[in-house]
Amino acid sequence: MTQYLVLASSSPFRRMLMENAGLSFESHPAKIDERKIEATLGVSGPDQVALSLARAKALDVSSRFQDRLIIGSDQTMSLGSRVFHKPRSLAEARENLLALSSATHRLNSAVALVRNGEVVWEHVSYADLTVRELSGQFVDRYLARVGDKVLGSVGAYQLEGEGIQLFSRIDGDYFTILGLPMLPLLQQLRLLEAIDG
């Protein structure tokens, strides 16, 4: 029994992952204030922040679509105790990239499934990425080449593009890095008989 799926996101990367997997779905972004929700969480870890935001997105969209299975997702990036957000400017992107230089940071990718206002499943996947040593001059040239595209990425890089040149090691799957852990999501959709299994 196939169920109607709704992706609670306007992310072109998340839509692409679901389309490439052959899923039939609609995409409707959530209308939430992510920073306001984060502020209510207190000292939650980055993985719990990602999960809370994924859940909030799915719950918001679920209020508009009865009897649909809503997929909410979010991703946080952390280096030690520091949690990063999408840079607001190229200057902030430069600062963030230099902070990541010669260090391993973690991407926390969360997904939640909600139906009729009830969370039916949630999951967090992790990826650890090591940035090679970067000079300020290289970062300036990199940002000049890629431009404002980096402002759409929490790490100021797009691994599927020129951003791959920033790394010396990656531990984690591609889907987690792009912000939607597809393998556990597909397994759960099969268990719920929401897709052909």
The C-alpha atoms of residue 74 and residue 54 are separated, in whole angstroms, by 5
The pTM assigned to this predicted structure is 0.88
Asked if residue 112 is part of any domain, the answer here is yes
Residue 43: per-residue pLDDT? 65
Q: Does residue 197 lie in a domain region?
A: no
In a domain, 44, yes or no: yes
Which residue stretches of the chain have pLDDT < 70?
1-3, 43
pLDDT number for residue 1: 44
pLDDT of residue 123: 97
Question: Catalytic positions, please?
Answer: 74
Task: Domain of residue 41: give its range.
Answer: 5-191
Residue 196 within any structural domain of the chain: no
Give 53-78 pLDDT, tens digit per residue.
999 999 999 999 999 999 999 999 99
In a domain, 107, yes or no: yes
Domains: count for the chain: 1
In this structure, what CATH number is given to the domain that contains residue 110?
3.90.950.10
